[in-house]
A and B are shown apart, each in its own frame.
Chain A
């Protein structure tokens, strides 16, 4: 076959060289199919190398940071570099232990007071530079206030439940011998103790059941079932790619776009629903407020877990603090107050002999509601001013260690 050229026509103005549509078609010479195949492979290798290089330089495709874990459900990928653009902006690397922290040796230097903060993405703080999150700021503030070096270690992991925080403490946290453990507790935390109706990795969590004698029974049925499922096997099969390939992460985004598009197509088809008669009524789903009304039914599960967690921490010679953090839902700037959960949490803290810090109440008291958009990112996570506020509140409310 020959080389074909598309001729332009009917253009009132001259086409630029960028807009010339010249395309060679077909193969020539000996072994055209083999040549074409070899060239395509070479081109693919080159394209992959170029794309990976470009994406690495521009910080693209660096959002995946979780991998499945039989015991914990999932955990951060150690050493993974993250560039987060969805809310705020941060470019940072998890340390060799999979923590959103600089490298910290297990051995505690003499004279240093260590605080370990556990929680979910609100602690992990991928939305702001590391130096501006409340863990880093709290360390600086307390060091100045207490006149001794204070190291604050961030153990937060996106979407972790208190059960996973507890396991993370047992697996990793206690090796750092913290003097104080702060557990950040945002609104709706108790919902995360129950298996979530989702096949996404970030919802695969183990569960602790509270026995009548107060002890805990660990159950990772959900995790095991997930790992046996098609989604779990796919996650395991693509683990290397998810850790190392930025292109893979972009392909993951495409998948997400496709799901969004499906919803969009359904919506646009509704414009033509008048052809098909009246639209069907939407199914009923209980909203968050309705679910919260039944919170005291499953609170004993949380209560037992928190008591156990704090007794273990205290047995290790550390102080346990439960911190109520503020929360808004994505795109909205109304605080999710959930006062029933706060009240129950305060009761548990008292019973477990933990300190209780209510940053949520402090925010409501000290910050006008119309300024919340400056405090929260549009996805609901903390922006820099709120990190500063939380650090200030904690620095103010935490009691200095007894020397």
Chain B
């Protein structure tokens, strides 16, 4: 079930209504049943896989908590076993075909004339596996570090299966989530409306902006080698907007759905495209993943409390693995490495600017000006846009072709009709105007309309989103991860 589907627009109100009508003790079981339906309406068998993995991690968590005080070494072994089992599950479903394909490529260029080709496994990726596996690893690690385990199996199951964050995050921290499950909540109309507003915002971003730009981007990448510079940059920028609106739109809808039932999910985005440097970008983009990578990969590897070379190695490794997490393909690895190297250079530059030499001082002064700040934002955005080309391209050749087209000053006309047919940029304009109006109302509360007028506004946003959306329901980009 997709958040942008009509069936979800029926499913959510039923669940929200039932949630608030039931006594507190029945709410978690209700959410668990609803989440199971949400997940299993796609592919029932994988619901059993999620259930099995949940039981396994529940048992491991309890075991770690029980044996840690007396036998810490054994607890560590149980933790490692748990992490390995989770990663193995992820690797099996996500990376088996990638591995086979890579081996086949090596075999194909081997000098042996009769090199055999391994058959592809064609494994269907369970939705959300990359997200809930990371949540389980976080859970086991934190239990080992001393956090209290979740004793209520329904609460634990819901931690992994909670439908607003089940498929594409945000990657939750169990301490925050379970605390919210345990507190009996009273119906709060303000939170319900806040949730509705987030859902409408996310819906518009997804179906009006991202889905339109998706078609435009597909045409651009399909003709990557033939595009002129303007259309190549248009394609890259369109994808930059698309991926933000697609993923943050999903997150808004997930967070909004949770908020309607009184749950706060962590935000995943904080104006990433106005980041002043790459470190800042990763503090603003997919925040729940980057903070997970920081806490459970970068810091355990030594983080920044080690030699410069080791720190740089840690950074690049973390980003490469982060890239690989996004998908089983080399272009994701390259995208991760590109960002890893960018972060290394960015850190080196930041250290140089902090120096006391004349050039450093001049640079400090320059960065303090608004032109300097704008240049930093512009250069960071340029780097990110180029990075997205690697991310979106299906092969490295395609990425290379688009980047080459971007520096080839010839005219092309592949996207002329597409800009009109898929009015994603027009929808973006409408979104920006609407966003500015909302901010204006926030600054001037006296002008803020009353509830009935606001409801009219939500209906208008909904109609605008449906009006702009292309036909059909497009899945979210991050569902494939």
Contacts and interface: CB of A to CB of B under 8 A. Distances in A.
Contact of B456 (A16, A17, A44): A44
Contacts, number: 165
Contacts of A146: none
Interface stretch (B152-160, B315-323, B357-365, B462-470): B462-470
B155 to A, nearest CB: 15
A253 interface: yes
B259 A21 contact: yes
Given A10-B176, A12-B173, A91-B420, A271 B452 contact: no
A25 B460 contact: no
A101 B158 CA distance: 60
Interface in B183-218: 188-191, 193-195, 197-198, 201
Given A26-B451, A58-B423, A271-B40, A47 B467 contact: no
B443 to A, nearest CB: 10
A291 to B, nearest CB: 28
A85 B421 contact: yes
Interface string B422-443: 1100110010000100010010
Tell which of B10, B43, B259, B452 has the most Cβ of chain A within 10 Å.
B452
A381 to B, nearest CB: 15
Interface residues of B, number: 70
A19 B267 contact: yes
B451 A22 contact: no
B397 interface: no
Interface in A17-58: 17-27, 32, 35-37, 39-40, 42-44, 47, 50-51, 54-55, 57-58
A268 B442 contact: no
A228 interface: no
Interface string B468-480: 1011000000000
B197 A11 contact: no
A258 B463 contact: no
A264 B426 contact: no
Interface in B22-77: 40-44
Contacts of A25: 189-190, 193, 451
B450 interface: yes
B44 A39 contact: no
A250 B450 contact: no
B408 interface: no
Contacts of B283: 13
Contacts of A351: none
Given A6-B194, A13-B283, A250 B267 contact: no
Interface of A: 3-6, 8-27, 32, 35-37, 39-40, 42-44, 47, 50-51, 54-55, 57-61, 85-86, 88-89, 91, 246-247, 250-251, 253-254, 257-258, 260-261, 264-265, 268, 271-272
- Going nearest first, the 3 A-B pairs with the smallest beta carbon separation are A261-B6, A21-B194, A40-B452
8 contacts: A36-B450, A37-B452, A51-B460, A51-B464, A57-B426, A61-B467, A85-B470, A253-B466
